[in-house]
Amino acid sequence: MERIYENERIRVIWDPDKCMHSGICTEGLPQVFDIHKRPWVDTNAAAVEDMKRVIGACPSGALRYEVPNELDHARSGGDRDVTKTE
């Protein structure tokens, strides 16, 4: 069953059934992914971009993320493309 670790900037989803314990996440960002802590994922311990990079390197697909702000930016970015017809 998937576990979720989140703050207001990112949601990290981990599926223990898929994890092959490669250690990519714990070596890449040990301040976030620490199996000796509970919970073992601390989403406040690093920048979102760093977490996205390490999660993207997970070889099994056990880790994935959702970043709600990216959707907000995409919507607000459309304002710049408004053209005047006058």
Residues engaged in binding ligand SF4 (CB under 6 A): 19-25, 58-60, 62-63
Single-letter amino acid code for the residue at 34: D
What residues pair up with 46 in beta bridges, in sequence order?
none
Q: Which of 25, 46 has the CB closer to ligand SF4?
A: 25
Distance CA 82, CA 19 (A): 46
Q: How far is the CB of 22 from ligand SF4 (least distance, A)?
A: 3
Q: Which of 20, 71 has the CB closer to ligand SF4?
A: 20
Q: Which of 40, 48 has the CB closer to ligand SF4?
A: 40
Q: How far is the CB of 40 from ligand SF4 (least distance, A)?
A: 10
User: b or e along 54-76 (b: 16 or more beta carbons within 10 Å of the residue's beta carbon)?
Assistant: bbeebeeebbebeeeeeeeeeee
